Each structure stands twice: as C-alpha cells, then as structure tokens.
Amino acid sequence: MLEELLRLIAKGSVHSSKELANKLGISEPLLDRMLEDLKRMGYLRLSSESCSAKCEHCPISAACAVGHAGRVWVLTEAGRRMAD
C-alpha cells in the first residue's frame, strides 16, 4: 500500500489528505503515519516552507499549496524510482 501511495503522489496533481485516504480506502490518521514512514525511509520529504514565488521554475509547481494550509510532500529520487 505504501507503493500505491507513492504512485498517487508521483502523479503530480494536488491531493488533500482526505482525498488520498479515500483513494486508498484508509483513515486519515493511518495516511499520516504512512507519509511519516515514507519520509523516514527516504522516499518523501516535506517541501520547504519558504517560497520565492518563482513558480515557473519550481519543480513542485503542479502540486503547490502556497496560500493553503497543509503540508506538501515531495518525492525524493529514491521515491521516484520506487513509484516507477
């Protein structure tokens, strides 16, 4: 199920925790634990909290949550390989 979560994140579209949990058929608290597990394993990282507003050059512009509450998770290189 962790690989399925990575594949959903790799698609690059914006997902809320609720939407991801529903797609996986799990609770939001379980999703949060899975995200933290993937972070500990080196497959995900949180995007930086600061933004230079240079969106056209931003590697996560498709999944940007600037101006919205929440966290934006970014796949690491290892995460990209696992999602493929």
15-27 per-position pLDDT tens digit: 678 888 999 999 9
- Structural domain count, the chain: 1
Span 55-81, pLDDT tens digits: 556 665 555 544 444 677 888 999 999
Complete DSSP assignment for 24-75? HT--HHHHHHHHHHHHHTTSEEEPPS---S-GGG-TTGGG--TTSSS--EEE
Note the pTM of the prediction, 2 decimals: 0.73
Print the domain residue range for 58: 2-83
CATH number at residue 14: 1.10.10.10
